Structure 1
Amino acid sequence: MSKAVPEQAPEPSPVAEQIRTEAEQSELRSALKERLDELVEEQQRFVDSIAMAQRERLSDTAGDDQVDSGTKTVEHEHEVTVANSLSERILQVSHALERLDEGDYGVCEKCGKPIPAARLAAFPSATLCVSCKQLEERR
């Protein structure tokens, strides 16, 4: 006589894990839009700062020694780097909002598996699961 193997509960489908209530989606959308607004404001401050520094550099370089000139160049490069980083983050958050609207938010763009909730909580604009992100970073 064979022993009956107890049935295991079926694993929830990835799609089922991704279904969010309208209230959750609305809250997430609001948080993403708020973050987008913050990033746009911060980027604008850097762009304004870069423009002002550029005007000052063009009009006020007389008497600068090499150290002053080098310091201004390093500061300018830092501001440009930060502004570019902010642009990239703005694109990421905008993309997350698009994915939310399309119903693809929270699903890995490479493997199609759900992105863990903890990862999305820490990085709401994540588009890759941890495994795919690790593979991408190794390249």
Structure 2
Amino acid sequence: MAAKKTPVAKADKVPTARAAGAPAEAEELAVRAGEEPWTPQEVEEARGELASEAERLKEELVASGEALDGLMRDSGDGAGDDDADTGTKNITREHEMALAANAREMLYQTERALERLDAGTYGLCENCGNPIGKARMQAFPRATLCVECKQQQERR
């Protein structure tokens, strides 16, 4: 049995033209029907959270790069290593590479969220254009899809 879809209202306000580089005003950001508009304090809180997350991820990438450099330098020096030592080094290197790739993706998503916040498109679903929902954006500030579109994406 298919779940009944609740109609989602488009944002009452469409982002207006603003000077290049000027951040969006709180009242320009999309909300779902029945939600309170964004307040300037909530926008600044979201911006601050995203900016600090971006800085943390950049630091994590620097540390991960340094760790990978060390692992790569040590990987050639396997004289006397048995198979277990070599395997451990390989697993450690692959694990560090996976962590770095994850941090790069999170940084990309975080920077995109900051760009959308400045452009006034923060909180709009990139698939259907409907508001994502203020509560969802506060819980997951990097969200780019509304719940409905995210569910459809996960079913594919």
Match of 2:85 among 65, 68, 76: 68
1:99–1:15 Cα change, 3 Å: farther
Q: Using structure 2 for the length normalisation, give the TM-score.
A: 0.75
Instruction: Report the CA distance between 1:13 and its aligned residue.
Output: 5.1
- Give the number of the structure whose residues are more often helix, by fraction: 1
User: One-letter code of the match for 1:120?
Assistant: M
User: One-letter code of the match for 2:148?
Assistant: S
1:55 aligned onto 2:73: yes
Q: Using structure 1 for the length normalisation, give the TM-score.
A: 0.83
For 1:114 and 1:95, locate their aligned partners in 2 and report how far apart those are by CA, in whole Å.
Answer: 17
Instruction: Report the CA distance between 1:24 and its aligned residue.
Output: 2.5
User: One-letter code of the match for 1:14?
Assistant: A
Instruction: Report the CA distance between 1:76 and its aligned residue.
Output: 0.6
Q: Which residue is 2:60 aligned to?
A: 42
1:98 aligned onto 2:95: no
Count, aligned residues: 128
Equivalent residues in 2 for 1:1-139, closer than 5 Å = 14-15=11-12, 17-18=30-31, 19-58=37-76, 60-139=77-156
1:28–1:113 Cα change, 3 Å: same
Select the structure of larger CA radius of gyration. 1
SS of aligned partner of 2:121: coil
Structure 1 gaps of 5+ residues are 1-10
- Select the structure with the greater relative contact order (CA < 8 A; seq sep ≥ 6): 2
State the superposition RMSD in angstroms.
1.8
Structure 2 gaps of 5+ residues are 1-7, 14-29, 32-36
SS of aligned partner of 1:92: helix
Identical columns (%): 43
Instruction: Report the CA distance between 1:97 and its aligned residue.
Output: 0.4
